[in-house]
Structure 1
Amino acid sequence: MEEEASVAANLLDLTLRPFELTDVDDFMVWATDDRVTRFCSWDTYTSIESAVKCITENILPHPWIRAICLKNRPVGSISVTPNKEDKFRGEIGYTLAADYWGRGIATAAVKMAVKIVFREWVWLERLEALVDVENWGSQRVLEKSGFEKEGVLRKFYLHKGKLKDMVMFSLLRS
């Protein structure tokens, strides 16, 4: 019961906010952790310079990416990327520092992001998430956030040199 109260208190301090270049040290906590980057499309960062470049060139200009913060300190990231061909679709993705896994933080962040994006992007009808079949934690986050599992896409994604099966999840505005 005490642990549940602690989790609830942490979630009260949970916010999503735009990244700043000054977040680079916090970003490095999860971006240098192979456990976190195992399922990410990008490789583990090995230098502060490459992280600064990523924040400057990829994160800051991104149409919708936010730092997942506890007490305004970034512990992860969440993004929604519009589909280039079909404007009514977007893809959600997230990462969270390993020290915060299993506390409901990713689920709460996904729920918050969904509400914000559907409110801000009135044209968006469908959010999708592609998850590695081996990433059980992320699949559970999506299920708890209201996403529906649509099926497995076999040998769908070339990830770090290997063809991977991916699970498609979706959430509709309606």
Structure 2
Amino acid sequence: MEEQKQQTAHTSGGAGVISLRPMQLSDVDDFMVWATDPDVARFCTWEPYTSRDDALAYIAGTILPHPYYRAICLDGRPVGSLSVTQNEAASDACRGELGYVLGSGYWGRGIATEAVKMAAAEVFGGARPELERVEAVVDVENEASQRVLEKAGFRREGVMRKYFALKGRTRDAVMFSRLSTDDDS
């Protein structure tokens, strides 16, 4: 297995050290904190988890084999997760989609913004050399996530009307992107 270096950043106000690392089966109890929270799942495609066994199966079957799925950690403890998934079509293989989730007790502290910045730096710094563009599709009502992406250097590209169905409703979405050639400043 390839050795992966861990990036860290400090939260604003010195509330802790943020890092990204591969998720592990032993993280299941921390995973359940955010995965069972209806507020966290509101804009996600999944419903809140109710079973630790289902969470373990998801971690083992989906997260562990994923090429870029990371635990967002605060002082070494997972408080959320983040992934960058490459598009499957060969003609779209230069693009990946960013997704992230953070426990509601950690919202508003800059943790998601720092984690997204670190993930973009890792992806474009060699972790996913095939990707030249990372996209994030955000529900038009999820203003907090839109702010996270803007602060992390993603560009708002526009609103896509009736773009996806979420929990039985057709939703509008905002497309954000960051390119491998974007300046971090």
TM-score (norm 1): 0.93
Q: Residue in 1 aligned with 2:3?
A: none
Q: Residue in 2 aligned with 1:158?
A: 165
Contact 2:11 2:18 in 1 (8 A): no
Pairwise CA RMSD of aligned residues? Answer: 1.3
Aligned residues: 169
Post-superposition shift, 1:123?
2.2
Post-superposition shift, 1:126?
0.6
Within 2, Cα distance between the matches of 1:75 and 1:63? 20
- Report SS of the residue matched to 1:122: coil
- Structure 1 outlier segments of 4+, above 4 Å: none
Equivalent residue in structure 1 for 2:80, among 72, 76, 80: 76
Percent identical pairs in the alignment equals: 58
2:130 is aligned with what amino acid? W
Q: Residue in 2 aligned with 1:121?
A: 128
| Cα shift readout 1:89-119 (whole Å, capped 9, x = no counterpart) | 0000100000000000000000000000111
Q: Residue in 2 aligned with 1:9?
A: 14
- Report SS of the residue matched to 2:50: coil
Higher helix share: 1
Q: How does 1:87-126 map to 2 (within 5 A)?
A: 87-119=93-125, 120-126=127-133
- Report SS of the residue matched to 1:108: helix
TM-score (norm 2): 0.88
| Cα shift readout 1:57-112 (whole Å, capped 9, x = no counterpart) | 11111121000001110000000000112111000010000000000000000000
2:167 is aligned with what amino acid? K
Q: Residue in 2 aligned with 1:45?
A: 49
Equivalent residue in structure 2 for 1:134, among 136, 141, 148: 141
Within 2, Cα distance between the matches of 1:6 and 1:62? 27
